[in-house]
């Protein structure tokens, strides 16, 4: 059973307690007794990842985050979902994606959302606009507008549950590069901002106080040690995954990693006044065994498919502009040319998964998405390489020249003559896309002597497994 399934069943065990302690009738927050348990779930640094990332074992994606948030919420537990910031993509040209990240986050009804340096890189007006459009409950305690010295977003947020006020504040590192927003904002000292925020949240009656940190691992831990009164911390900004979190000073700290591949889950027990007693922290890994939320999956697909179509259109425009250019002397020729002389290798290549690489992108509707194409074609964006499926149809799939080098240099100083090395494979079977890649065991699956079709059977069997996992 998956880790998530275990965590949920643990959660279900504590549920009757939570319900017994709370009041099932709708009552005003102030009059109800506090629940005996509070569940905090948090993500951070989604970095523009809408879909599962990784090709060998796809992890994460909004549809999985959403299904976890949703099932905890529907369990009836006293819960708050939080995001520590960093949802915006790496590429400053993807305004559409930044906008989508915020609106998809909004669908999961977070109690508060922090701000990361990367969210400021697109400029102040962009984050302001997307925050306003999405109506996300943004917060940051140490980020000011340089012109007015007023906080850019509310310095604290209070999430009211029956019988409980959960106070949330967020902090940004002072020394990080802020890109386009550099000259329009000021980041003030995190520690003094934290003291002010904690005091203000307590004065407003918060029984539980949570920090959304964009201070990095060391910065976040130092702050939790230096500032008393913080019950829980979600650590963001280049923080490694730590499966069971840690206690730092008086705080329980979640290290749930980035890109939405994991979710941090803190379960805090509360006393009669709603003050935090002990607690546990777990990281839920969002692997293929975690169900995908159907409505969110549809929303993500619609956004990504539209992007793929827009890129296809841009390819056509670029192609028309390129038509006048002369072809480079050296270029990729495509496997059909090699096959004229190397018939055995060509016949064997068809029996490997490399011959399916393009079909895969077409099936996923990612055949014009620039993030996906490079490793599934020959010579992407290189002179004489793949341009689009219509202008260079002979260069789709992983072919001879991906491993042996450009065909027009055949017979001269052909570097690939001695056969490709492990490094050649790893340009595509990279740490991000295929972290489980093992050269010694995978090479025999595609080597020219092997015509068994095993590599194709492997990918098809895996695809079936994930599909059945996703429909659960
Ligand atoms: C006109 C026929 C012809 C074509 C087309 C051709 N090759 Fe060759 N290739 C040869 C011959 C003949 C040799 C062996 C003689 C030599 O070492 O130069 C060779 C050698 C090789 C070798 C090196 C074998 C070794 O043991 O060193 C590789 C790899 C190779 N070709 C791959 C390719 C690829 C990839 C293409 C397409 C881009 C291709 N060839 C196109 C005829 C061809
Ligand atoms: C240009 C990028 C690229 C290079 C270089 C490359 N691969 Fe692949 N490989 C892929 C892609 C993409 C797939 C998935 C094809 C599909 O099913 O859509 C794949 C699939 C495979 C598979 C089948 C899936 C599996 O995990 O069993 C094996 C085995 C494999 N590659 C081994 C290798 C080896 C060994 C090398 C180096 C000698 C290599 N590849 C070089 C891109 C590449
Ligand atoms: C850095 C190179 C690289 C990039 C970029 C890349 N892939 Fe892949 N992809 C691979 C490799 C390598 C494999 C084979 C992994 C394996 O099977 O072991 C693969 C396999 C796959 C598979 C599984 C094969 C199958 O037949 O079902 C899918 C699906 C896939 N990629 C989709 C995508 C999508 C969608 C994107 C863009 C979001 C993408 N890839 C970007 C290298 C890449
Ligand atoms: C995934 C990487 C990869 C791809 C794709 C690939 N080769 Fe190879 N090729 C190798 C490796 C590795 C060797 C070294 C010997 C071996 O493992 O078979 C090799 C060896 C060769 C040789 C030397 C003789 C031999 O068979 O050992 C020739 C010729 C050759 N390849 C041609 C081709 C042609 C033609 C294609 C396309 C139809 C192709 N290769 C596609 C990896 C690849």
What pLDDT does 450 receive? Answer: 96
What pLDDT does 418 receive? Answer: 62
What pLDDT does 413 receive? Answer: 55
Q: Closest Cα partner for 54 from 362, 357, 355, 428?
A: 428
Q: What is the band of 472 on the pLDDT scale with cuts at 50, 70, 90?
A: very low
Q: Please state the atom number of ligand 1 nearest to the C-alpha of residue 335.
A: 37
Burial of residue 252 (CB within 10 Å: 0-12, 13-18, 19+) is buried
How many H helices and E strands in the chain? 15, 13
Q: Are 3-295 and 331-470 equal in CATH topology?
A: no
Judge whether residue 109 has pLDDT over 60. Answer: yes
Judge whether residue 415 has pLDDT over 70. Answer: no
Judge whether residue 282 has pLDDT over 80. Answer: yes
Residue with the smallest CA separation from ligand 1 atom 14 is 411
What pLDDT does 22 receive? Answer: 36
Residue 138 CA to residue 191 CA, distance in Å, equals: 20
Strands of 276-285's sheet in order across: 112-113, 79-83, 37-43, 262-270, 276-285
What pLDDT does 394 receive? Answer: 96
> 242 has which bridge partners?
255
Token pair listed for 361: 């992108």
Judge whether residue 382 has pLDDT over 50. Answer: yes
Q: Please state the atom number of ligand 3 nearest to the C-alpha of residue 371.
A: 37
Cα–ligand 2 centroid distance for 353 (angstroms):
7
Ligand 3 proximity of 354 Cβ (cutoff 6 Å): no
| Structural domain boundaries in the chain | 3-295, 331-470
Question: Which tens digits make up the pLDDT trace of 164-183?
Answer: 999 999 999 998 989 889 99
Token pair listed for 89: 């993509």
Q: How many CB atoms lie within 10 A of CB 60?
A: 26
Q: What is the band of 142 on the pLDDT scale with cuts at 50, 70, 90?
A: very high
Kindly calculate the radius of gyration of the chain based on its CA atoms and give it in whole angstroms: 26
Token pair listed for 439: 């050269």
pTM reported for the whole predicted model: 0.86
Q: Which CATH class is domain 331-470?
A: mainly alpha
Domain at 3-295: CATH architecture: 4-Layer Sandwich (3.60)
Residue with the smallest CA separation from ligand 1 atom 16 is 411
Distances (CA, A) of 419 to 323, 355, 414, 450: 35, 19, 10, 16
Residue with the smallest CA separation from ligand 4 atom 8 is 400
What pLDDT does 330 receive? Answer: 79
Share of the chain above pLDDT 90, in %: 78
Token pair listed for 187: 């980041």
Question: Which tens digits make up the pLDDT trace of 184-210?
Answer: 999 999 999 999 999 999 999 999 999
Q: Closest Cα partner for 210 from 74, 110, 67, 65?
A: 110
What pLDDT does 193 receive? Answer: 98
Q: What are the φ/ψ torsions at residue 244 (nearest 5 degrees)?
A: -115, 20
What pLDDT does 21 receive? Answer: 36
List all residues whose CB is within 6 A of at least one atom of ligand 1.
333, 337-338, 340-342, 400-401, 404, 407, 410-411, 417
Ligand 2 proximity of 75 Cβ (cutoff 6 Å): no
Q: Closest Cα partner for 198 from 233, 152, 239?
A: 233
């Amino acid at each position: 059973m998956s880790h998530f399934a275990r965590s949920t069943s643990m959660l279900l065990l504590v549920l009757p307690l939570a319900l017994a302690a709370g009041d099932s009738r709708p009552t005003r927050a102030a009059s109800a007794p506090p629940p005996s348990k509070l569940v905090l779930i948090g993500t951070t640094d989604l970095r523009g990842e809408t879909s599962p990332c990784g090709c060998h074992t796809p992890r994460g994606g909004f549809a999985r985050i959403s299904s976890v948030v949703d099932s905890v919420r529907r369990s009836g537990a006293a819960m708050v979902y939080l995001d520590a910031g960093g949802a915006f993509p790496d590429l400053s040209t993807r305004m559409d994606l930044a906008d989508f990240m915020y609106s998809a986050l909004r669908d999961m009804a977070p109690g508060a959302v922090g701000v990361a340096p990367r969210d400021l890189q697109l400029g102040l007006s962009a984050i302001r606009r997307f925050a306003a459009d999405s109506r996300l409950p943004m917060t940051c305690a140490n980020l000011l507008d340089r012109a007015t010295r007023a906080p850019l977003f509310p310095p604290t947020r209070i999430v009211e549950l029956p019988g409980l006020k959960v106070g949330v504040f967020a902090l940004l590192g002072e020394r990080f590069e802020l890109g386009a927003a550099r000259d329009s904002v000021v980041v003030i000292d995190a520690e003094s901002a934290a003291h002010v925020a904690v005091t203000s949240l307590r004065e407003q009656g918060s029984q539980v106080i949570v920090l959304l940190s964009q201070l990095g691992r060391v910065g976040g831990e130092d702050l939790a040690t230096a500032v008393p009164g913080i019950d829980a911390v979600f650590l963001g900004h280049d923080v490694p995954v730590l499966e069971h979190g840690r206690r730092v000073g008086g705080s329980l700290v979640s290290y749930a990693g980035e890109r939405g591949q994991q979710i941090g889950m803190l379960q805090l027990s509360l006393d009669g006044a709603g003050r935090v007693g002990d607690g546990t922290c777990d990281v839920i890994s969002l692997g293929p065994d975690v169900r995908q939320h159907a409505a969110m999956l549809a929303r993500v697909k619609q956004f990504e498919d539209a992007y793929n179509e827009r890129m296809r259109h841009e390819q056509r425009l670029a192609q028309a502009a390129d038509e006048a250019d002369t072809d480079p002397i050296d270029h990729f020729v495509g496997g059909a040319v090699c096959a004229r002389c190397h018939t055995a290798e060509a016949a064997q290549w068809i029996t490997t998964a490399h011959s399916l690489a393009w079909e895969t992108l077409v099936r996923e509707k990612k055949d014009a998405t620039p993030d996906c194409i490079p490793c599934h074609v020959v010579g992407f964006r290189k002179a004489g390489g793949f341009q689009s499926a219509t202008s260079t149809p002979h260069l789709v799939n992983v072919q001879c020249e991906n491993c042996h080098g450009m065909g027009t240099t055949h017979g001269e100083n052909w570097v690939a003559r001695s056969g490709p090395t492990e490094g050649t494979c790893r340009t595509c079977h990279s740490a991000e896309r295929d972290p489980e890649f093992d050269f010694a065991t995978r090479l025999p699956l595609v080597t020219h002597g092997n015509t068994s079709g095993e590599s194709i059977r492997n990918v098809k069997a895996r695809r079936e497994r994930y599909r059945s996992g996703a429909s659960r």
